[in-house]
């Protein structure tokens, strides 16, 4: 979703938290240069589309499609990823299998790092091992959560849904937005909006593991937290802070899960909501919290939770009997996993996740919803 926030502008543990100000690091300068070079490369294509093909129809709008929420209407320009009904998602033209093979990995690991996929989505380039290491170090530098935000999160009711807590946490972080500050002060040109947006996006990506892990430990482990470990990669550290177990395989499956879901075109609820709110020049904190609220719906991100609840309910109802479609349809409920709004083949995000059963096992074992 963060790539959607950036797109609106590009055109295609510090001790003080009152106003974050990061010295420009070498890796951020490199990232900026690559994003700018990509924008320069893509600009003539966009100009040509506007001048030469602006009136070319790309689909047909019907009353039924309008009533159905614009289902099936082609009206999206997406650079970072593309969702094909038959083959699933591609990141910058690469299949998930190709991404997993080509992305840098943790020492001894076999899974492409999600922070490396973030670099790929922003630059259309596979990062080197050195760039990935430097980006990871940069994210650790930006990861600290202000004390007043921690107090807000720790003071929330434990039965409040974690997604609600996450949206509130993101909004509590919003006063530190670099884009918001620059826009209010009138110190930035429109053509440079993307630079402070990138600053916010990087900081948000850095803070998300600490914020979400804290919420998780508050809800399921009575507020007993696991300290961040800056020697680990971004996703590996997140797995460590969750504290489900200290097994390397859990870190690997966390990396895999986050890499597979790094982007999902721009048309799904959360990505579209993020992009839509960002188009009003709301800063990335406001835009991303909107996306999180969309993700919390049972027809979107919450579907994972609903699927696990369905599995538990089915097990409770059927006991040790082997379920059949006929038996399950007697419940008069949707069977999770049967049917998809876009895909017509098995979702590669699930098909390629050979370790995904470990997530389900850990979730059921430790009582997460």
Residues known to be catalytic = 340
Give the pairing of strands 88-91 and 81-84. antiparallel
| Under 8 Å between Cβ of 101 and 91 | no
The two three-digit tokens of residue 36, written as one number: 């700018």
CA-based end-to-end distance of the chain: 24
Angle at the Cα of 297 from the Cα atoms of 296 and 299, rounded to 5 degrees? 135
Query: Beta partners for 279?
Result: none
User: Mapped to the 3 state alphabet, what secondary structure does 74-126 carry?
Assistant: CCCCCCCEEEECCCEEEECCEEHHHHHHHCCECCCCCCECHHHHHHHHHHCCC
Rounded to an integer, what distance in angstroms lies between the CA atom of residue 305 and that of residue 250?
Answer: 19
What Å distances lie between residue 153 and 124, 143, 297, 349, CA to CA?
36, 16, 21, 31
| Under 8 Å between Cβ of 161 and 220 | no
| Under 8 Å between Cβ of 75 and 266 | no
Q: What share of the chain is helix, strand, coil (3-state, %, to 5)?
A: 60, 5, 40
Rounded to an integer, what distance in angstroms lies between the CA atom of residue 98 and that of residue 257?
Answer: 16
Q: Which residues contact 345 (CB under 8 A, 6 or more apart)?
A: 85, 86, 87, 88
Angle at the Cα of 297 from the Cα atoms of 292 and 301, rounded to 5 degrees? 65
Q: Give just the sign of the alpha carbon dihedral 104, 9, 266, 38.
A: negative
Rounded to an integer, what distance in angstroms lies between the CA atom of residue 249 and that of residue 257?
Answer: 12
**Which of 119, 100, 92 has the alpha carbon at shortest distance from 27?**
119
In the β-sheet with 94-95, what is the strand arrangement from edge to edge?
81-84, 88-91, 94-95
């Amino acid at each position: 979703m963060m790539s959607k926030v950036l797109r609106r502008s590009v055109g295609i543990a510090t001790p003080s938290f009152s106003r974050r100000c990061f010295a420009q690091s070498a890796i951020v300068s490199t990232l900026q240069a690559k994003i700018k070079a990509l924008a320069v490369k893509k600009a003539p294509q966009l100009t040509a589309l506007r001048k030469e093909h602006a009136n070319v129809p790309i689909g047909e709008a019907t009353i039924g499609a309008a009533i159905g929420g614009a289902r099936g209407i082609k009206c999206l320009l997406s650079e970072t990823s593309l969702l094909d009904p038959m083959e699933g998602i591609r990141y910058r033209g690469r299949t998930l299998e190709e991404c997993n093979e080509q992305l840098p990995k943790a020492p001894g690991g076999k899974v492409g790092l999600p922070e490396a996929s973030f670099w790929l989505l922003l630059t259309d380039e596979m990062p080197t091992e050195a760039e990935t290491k430097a980006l990871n170090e940069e994210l650790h530098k930006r990861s600290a959560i202000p004390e007043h935000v921690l107090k807000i999160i720790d003071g929330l009711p434990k039965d409040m849904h974690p997604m609600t807590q996450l949206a509130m946490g993101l909004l509590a972080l919003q006063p530190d937005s670099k884009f918001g500050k620059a826009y209010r002060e009138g110190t930035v040109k429109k053509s440079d909006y993307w630079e402070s947006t990138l600053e916010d996006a990087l900081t948000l990506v850095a803070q998300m593991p600490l914020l979400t892990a804290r919420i998780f430990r508050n809800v399921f482990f009575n507020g007993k937290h696991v300290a961040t470990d800056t020697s680990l990669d971004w996703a590996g550290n997140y797995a460590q802070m969750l504290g489900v177990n200290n097994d390397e395989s859990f870190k690997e499956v966390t990396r895999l899960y986050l890499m597979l879901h790094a982007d999902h075109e721009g048309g799904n609820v959360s990505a579209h909501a993020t992009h839509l709110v960002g188009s009003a020049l709301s800063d990335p904190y406001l835009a991303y919290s909107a996306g999180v609220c969309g993700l919390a719906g049972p027809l979107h991100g919450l579907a994972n939770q609903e699927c696990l609840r369905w599995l538990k309910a089915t097990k409770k109802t059927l006991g040790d009997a082997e379920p059949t479609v006929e038996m399950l349809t007697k419940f008069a409920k949707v069977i999770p996993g049967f049917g998809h709004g876009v895909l017509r083949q098995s979702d590669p995000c699930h098909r390629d996740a050979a370790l995904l059963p470990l997530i389900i096992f850990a979730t059921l074992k430790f009582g997460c919803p």
